Amino acid sequence: MEHLDSSKLLKIKWNIPPLQHNIPPTEPFNADMKIARYFTYEKLNKMINIPGIWFSNSKNLSDNLERALPKKYLERFELNDTAEAYSKISKFKNLYISSYISCWTEYTNENYALWEIYDPQKNGACLITTIGKLLEQFEKSFVVNDYIVTSKVEYINDNTKAEPNSIFLSDENESDYAPIHINLSEKYKIEPYEYEKEIRFICYSKLNKPGFLFETDKINDWVDEVIFNPFYSNARNLLINYIDEEKIKKSIINETNK
């Protein structure tokens, strides 16, 4: 498991004036917004032994339209050749620059579908925290605003008239090079995933790795609530010595009592 070397990340240049057609690259988030993630027993065990949050290379995610531009976006070009050239350039940049993502869900209640998908062995737990607390953990490694984009996912179809947000990236080790302009296409997923209500933390690197581990404090320091899988979970035995008892909440699905 490779730990993060922040010197290998590309820096986000917020101070460059946006192009006229650009939308501001991020939206303000309430630091107290609750977010959650569903973990298998194996991933929880790794997190206890080596505290950290794993950022996956977007090329390894299940949605085959990751980092794809909405088709309607290309219709703004008057010439087909221009649209095709722009699409090819975007694809080339995706090969040259890898994006790394940590996926969470906006939390209001448990999500039955997410239990089924992300803990299929039914032996894990749902960890609940806030955007602010997670960003504080990332701050321990580097200045968050310089390297991480926090974004709510927008769910699109072929007819969505989406305008990808634009950001500029620079390599501090290659200061003579002009910043690289890219579209923030990681904020889009197709509509069948809309039930996930996803919040993403995104960073970029020229390195093409499966992912990076962002080191954090012990799990009890940044997790507010824990819910064990309602169908069956031996994660309780794993976490009971690492989480304050008052943070452990009962599942509203509560299948184990049937």
> Does a structural domain hold residue 227?
yes
> Does a structural domain hold residue 4?
no
Q: How many domains does the chain have?
A: 1
> Does a structural domain hold residue 237?
yes
Q: Which domain holds residue 70?
A: 9-16+32-257
- pTM equals 0.82
> Does a structural domain hold residue 1?
no
> Does a structural domain hold residue 122?
yes
pLDDT in tens, 128-143: 999 999 999 988 877 6
Torsion of CA 228, 232, 238, 243, to 10 degrees: 20
> Does a structural domain hold residue 150?
yes
| Distance of alpha carbon 150 from alpha carbon 29, whole angstroms | 8
pLDDT in tens, 34-85: 999 999 999 999 999 999 999 999 888 766 555 555 565 555 555 454 555 4
Using DSSP bridges, classify how beta strands 52-57 and 211-215 pair: parallel, antiparallel or unpaired. antiparallel
